[in-house]
Amino acid sequence: NAGVTQTPKFQVLKTGQSMTLQCAQDMNHEYMSWYRQDPGMGLRLIHYSVGAGITDQGEVPNGYNVSRSTTEDFPLRLLSAAPSQTSVYFCASRSGGPPSGNTIYFGEGSWLTVV
């Protein structure tokens, strides 16, 4: 059972570079989302998706793009990396069913440093 898989686990970028954080889930979940977590802080929602072809912005969307062409994959693109985007990124997924049996599954995180 793979669950939610994020790659890469660690990445160092130079300011201005672009990159994509990959996220894949094998649970056929409708909902997927990306969070960032700065040191000593809680999780902040970047973007989310309620299904293939549908995405929307969260609390801190600036500087990031997402797309959802398949149910399984939800990549996060950094368009032009800035030091302020140094953070740990978590991908999460959950089913679209009733919340009585609906739990969120998180990936292990991607540690990104922008120098």
Partner 1 sequence: DAKTTQPNSMESNEEEPVHLPCNHSTISGTDYIHWYRQLPSQGPEYVIHGLTSNVNNRMASLAIAEDRKSSTLILHRATLRDAAVYYCILMKGTASKLTFGTGTRLQVTL
The contact set with partner 1 (CB under 8 A) reads 4, 31, 33, 35, 41-45, 48-50, 56, 58-59, 90, 92, 97-100, 102-109
- Spatial neighbors of 23 by CB under 8 A, at least 6 apart, are 4, 5, 6, 32, 34, 73, 74, 75, 76, 91, 107
Closer Cβ to partner 1, 35 or 64, answer by number: 35
- Report the distance separating Cα 77 and Cα 65, nearest Å: 5
Closer Cβ to partner 1, 15 or 56, answer by number: 56
Nearest approach, Cβ of residue 57 and partner 1 (Å): 9
Closer Cβ to partner 1, 33 or 85, answer by number: 33
Q: Which of 30, 26, 28 is nearest to 55 (CA)?
A: 30
Nearest approach, Cβ of residue 38 and partner 1 (Å): 11
Cis peptide bond upstream of 61, omega within 30: no
Please give the structure tokens belonging to residue 103: 């739990």
Nearest approach, Cβ of residue 80 and partner 1 (Å): 26
Nearest approach, Cβ of residue 2 and partner 1 (Å): 14
Sign of CA dihedral 57, 61, 66, 71: negative
Closer Cβ to partner 1, 11 or 106, answer by number: 106
